[in-house]
Amino acid sequence: MMLKFFKVLPLFLFVNFTYSQTSKCQNKAGDAPLDWAILYKAPGQDTGKIILAGAAASWDNGATALMNAERHSFGKTLEHVVGNNDRIKFLAYNNAPPRVPKVKTKSNSKGVIVLSTAADAAAWIVHTVPGFPAAKTGYTWPVAENARGHLLICLTISESQINAIAASLLLVQPLVHYNDIPETETAAMPYFNKLKEGRTPTLPPFTSKRSIRTENAGGPVTVHIYSKSETSKYGTHI
């Protein structure tokens, strides 16, 4: 079944082109790139149910516990977010950033935009996990969050889609706590540059609907992003 669009998570609740680099979504075992992946972890569990591109909309058990860095989809996707790679760069936002207690923000958004500087290979990860992932400090799943339910979504995209994502994020004013994407990659992305600088929209419209497409040329998924500013009465979903 080809998914035509996602409408699964409020935005404010909410990577492998060579053997050693990952900037795309990954399969259940984390050993092959995919167009998209969605993982749901139920409260009180340390593993999740995962649904993957090409899996006929069938939920499957996760390959391993989320506290393990290896052999699961999101652990591999985030490999060069939590570790170093000169060719993988990313922007991370989280209203509860790692190791920063009791931050006041206007947004509940959590996610990562990751890309390769050596190829047109990128991903957008949207999730609900506070304090995760911590940039460049090794993979650490917050064990306290096992008591709660969480959702993680990964979309493999081309870099041309990043500016539209950034435009939607601007309206919800996420707390960007890490960015090392070079300006050479974002020179033609005015909304991304505003996002990384922490700017906020000052003129209407204060709501927006934008669409992006996943990377798979043979069967891309269209993703509709509905976003709003804090002054708008409308909801925000992807």
**CA 69 vs CA 29, 65, 77, 83, 116: distances in Å:** 11, 9, 10, 11, 21
- Report pLDDT digits (tens) over 33-47: 999 999 999 999 999
Task: Please tell me the pTM assigned to this model.
Answer: 0.85
* Helix and strand counts by DSSP (H, E) for the chain: 5, 12
39 is written with which tokens?
Answer: 């993982």
Cβ 140 vs Cβ 205: under 8 Å: no
Chain segment 158-205, per-residue pLDDT in tens: 999 999 999 999 888 899 999 999 999 999 999 999 999 988 766 566
Instruction: Judge contact between 16 and 76, C-beta under 8 A.
Output: yes
Distance set, CA 206 to CA 62, 86, 169 (Å): 38, 37, 12
Cα-trace Rg, the chain: 16
Given a contact cutoff of 8 angstroms between Cβ atoms, the answer to whether 217 and 202 are in contact is no
Tokens of 61: 């058990």
Provide the mean pLDDT of the chain: 84
**Coil, strand, or helix at residue 82?**
helix
